[in-house]
Each structure stands twice: as structure tokens, then as C-alpha cells.
Structure 1
Amino acid sequence: MRPPSQYNEEIGPEAESEPDPRLSAMLICTRLAGRAVTRVIERCNDAKENSELNLSDCQLMQVPDAVYHLMRHTELKICDLSNNVITKIPPKFAIKFSLITDLNLSHNQMSKLPNECADLKCLERLDISHNTFISIPDCIFKIPQLVHLNSSNNHIVDIEINLLKEAPSLREINLRKNPISQNSHEELSNISHINILLTPREKEEWEDLTI
């Protein structure tokens, strides 16, 4: 039995006028993803001209495999991966981009680096600030030409002092705004051949015997 025609007229248009909110969200995500892909391709093309790959603010969770393909005939000198949501760098990154002199990994979500980073034989400047490192990866201290390291604004508590002292070319390391332990802070303060930037350490209540 068919319902009265007046109900069809009232219900039909109303039902058709309500779009599915999930569809709108999917369309927005698709547009954003499309723009991010286009941005990456455009910047890879720019890098072929100036040897400087800038992939900052590209919504990346990792370095896309397409980047290695697009850059296969380009000798990169500078690589900027800052302001993304990257959690790790694969070993092949250091192999494919072994000639870079400046690498910016700041403002991501990384807590470790592959051992292959020690093979970045031309790297002079490295920025790993504003990540989630709880220690400085050992491979960093083995990079032969590394002069400047920015590791500020992480969660670093202790430093491998011996590895730091043996770093072949390191001249400056920024460790500001890290929860450096008392022992490491004191040992770092006694190193003179490397300029070590530290946030002045405030004593905990249990350390202050005057209270």
C-alpha cells in the first residue's frame, strides 16, 4: 500500500537536502592530500635546479618513496623536512642523499635515527630540535664533518660524554630546553673544546639543603 502523496512531497525533498557529513569530510581530506602531493612534486622539481630540497610543511608522516625516485639524478646539498609529522627516517635516506651538507629534521615526532646517518660524510649542520629524542643517537657523534648540532627542545636527560668528546668535527651543540640530569649538566659544563649551549639548571627541592 502506497503512502499518501502529501507525505511523499514533505519527506522526499527534506531527505534529499541533507548531505552525508562523512562524504564532505572525505572530499576535504582528498583535496588536502592532493595539494600535499602536488606540493611535494613541485618542490622536488625545484630541487633539481638548485640542489635544495624543501619539504617542510608538507603533512608528511615519512619521506615518500617517490621523492627518492624523483631525486635519483640530483646531488642534494640541503634538505629541509621540518614541520611535518615524521616519526622515523629510513636507512636508505642516508644512502640516497649522502652528499647533503645541511639537514633540518626539526618539529617532527622522531625519537631515533638509523645508524646509516653516520655515513653522511658531507653533513655539516644537523637540526633535530623539537622532536621526542630522549638521548642523542650515537650515529650523530660519528658523522665525520658535522660541525653544528641543534638538539634543543627534546626530552634528553643524559649524554654519552665520551662519544661527544670523540666527535671528529663537532664545534657547537645546542642542548637548551632539555631535562638534562645534574651529572650530565656538570660534565658538559667542563667541556671546553665544544661550544655547548645549556639552559641553566634549576635545583630540585630535594637538592636545596637551605630549605
Structure 2
Amino acid sequence: MKPGFGSELSNVLLRQSQIVHTRMAGMAVIRVVLRCNEAMADSNLNLSDCQLMQVPEAVYHLLRHTTLLSCNLAANNISKISPKFGTQFSRLTELNLSNNKLSRLPDEMLECVNLEKLDLGHNTFVDIPQVVLRFSKLRILLLNNNFIMDVDVRQLPEDSPIKEVDLRDNPLMPSCHETLSKVTTVTVTLSPREREEWEDLEI
């Protein structure tokens, strides 16, 4: 091998990698723009699996005159929702934020006064976001596959608009699991409770 050949090869491979990355990023941008154009026609925005770390500013600009009824942001790498989201897309009735890295929602989400279904499954929530419990029309709440250990059942009163809550695959404490399993005002879906090791010990 000629002296310096390895270095030259590394540089070539690096340039090729950068070209591929740039092309992929360009394709992702094109995909977002195309899906925004589709949303202008049918009021349903699908930005699932678009490698997003946040909702791009371009989306707010492109859809500034569009009334969205549903939005799918599933399967991205979003860790934060901008307050602008709830303000601009306040007419949403359905929102899918599953399979991201969210642990909280901004209070501005309350601007979505017509929201009826919210999917927060497969994120990093450790409790039910307080803002969620203040939606006046929310009927279906999906919080499966998070890190929720405890839920205050008083957050789900008889007059709550929420009728279905999915809490499967959360590390709920045994006492919380038992309490939730007895709730009748709301349909709560739970995973079967795994018995603690000490419960199997004979005394």
C-alpha cells in the first residue's frame, strides 16, 4: 500500500458519507414539503417517520393558512413540542405523538380545544401530563409504553370527558395497578400485573 493511501481512502469515504447524508437530509426535507402540500388539500398532516427532532419552522410557515384536523408526528426523535404548535394548530381533533422522546407538553396545547384523541404512547412520560387532564373534549388518551409508576385516580373523575385511557406497559406500582383496575367511570386498559417476588414467599 502506498504511503498516505489509507488517509486518502479515509477522506474519500468521508466525502461519500457526507454526500449520502446530505442527500438523505435533502430527501427528508422534500418529504416534509410534499406532506405539507397534501395537508393543504385534506387538512390531515402526516409527518410520521421523517427523522424530525422538532417540528420544523417551515411547517408552521407552509401551513399558516391551513386548518389542520389531524396530525401524525409518530416515529420521530422529537423531545420537545413548541408552544407555537398548539397555538397555530388549535383546531386539531386528533394528534399522534407516539414513538418519540417526549416527557412533557407545553400549556399552550390547551389551545387545541377540539382535541378528542391523543396518542402519547412509547415516550418517556413519568406521569400523566397535567395539561392533558384539562382538555375539555378529550375522549381517548393513549399513554402505553412510558415510565408511569403512579396515577392519582382523582384525576379521572366521573365527569371527566376522557372515556378511554391506555396505560399498558408502564411500571405501575402494585397498589396503583389495583386501584386503576377497579375504576368504572373510565375504561382503563392495563397490562397484567406481574407479582412481586416477595408475594410468592410462603410465610
Structure 1 unmatched ranges of 5 or more: 1-9
Q: For residue 75 of structure 1, give the secondary structure of its aligned residue in structure 2.
A: coil
Q: For residue 206 of structure 1, give the secondary structure of its aligned residue in structure 2.
A: helix
Structure 2 contact 110–135 (Cα < 8 Å) conserved: yes
Q: Distance in 2 between matches of 1:19 and 1:134?
A: 44
**Offset of residue 97 of structure 1:** 0.5
Q: Distance in 1 between matches of 2:112 and 2:7?
A: 59
Q: Which residue of 2 aligns with 1:168?
A: 160
Q: Which residue of 1 aligns with 2:193?
A: 201
Distance 1:44 1:210, change over 3 A: same
- Deviation by residue 1:65-96 (Cα, 9 ceiling, x = unmatched): 11011111000000000010101111111111
Match of 2:9 among 18, 37, 54: 18
Q: For residue 82 of structure 1, give the secondary structure of its aligned residue in structure 2.
A: coil
Q: Which residue of 1 aligns with 2:37?
A: 45
Q: For residue 118 of structure 2, give the secondary structure of its aligned residue in structure 1.
A: strand
Q: How many pairs were matched up?
A: 202
Match of 1:33 among 25, 31, 49: 25
Q: Which residue of 2 aligns with 1:76?
A: 68
Q: TM-score normalized by structure 1?
A: 0.89
Matched-pair identity in %? 46
- Deviation by residue 1:46-80 (Cα, 9 ceiling, x = unmatched): 00000000000100000001101111100000000
Q: Which residue of 2 aligns with 1:144?
A: 136
Q: For residue 165 of structure 2, give the secondary structure of its aligned residue in structure 1.
A: strand
Amino acid at match of 2:32: V
**Which aligned runs of 4 or more in structure 1 are off by greater than 2 angstroms?**
14-19, 164-168, 207-211
Distance 1:163 1:208, change over 3 A: same
Q: Distance in 2 between matches of 1:152 and 1:210?
A: 33
Q: Distance in 2 between matches of 1:74 and 1:205?
A: 55
Distance 1:16 1:60, change over 3 A: closer
Q: Distance in 2 between matches of 1:16 and 1:162?
A: 65
Q: Distance in 2 between matches of 1:15 and 1:146?
A: 60
Q: For residue 199 of structure 2, give the secondary structure of its aligned residue in structure 1.
A: coil
Q: For residue 110 of structure 2, give the secondary structure of its aligned residue in structure 1.
A: helix
Q: Provide the alpha-carbon RMSD of the alignment.
A: 2.1
Distance 1:165 1:57, change over 3 A: same
Q: Distance in 2 between matches of 1:201 and 1:142?
A: 29
**Offset of residue 16 of structure 1:** 10
Q: Distance in 1 between matches of 2:6 and 2:115?
A: 61
Amino acid at match of 2:56: P
Match of 2:100 among 105, 108, 130: 108
Structure 2 unmatched ranges of 5 or more: none
Q: In terms of Rg, which structure is larger? A: 1
Q: Distance in 2 between matches of 1:126 and 1:160?
A: 19
Structure 1 contact 142–168 (Cα < 8 Å) conserved: no
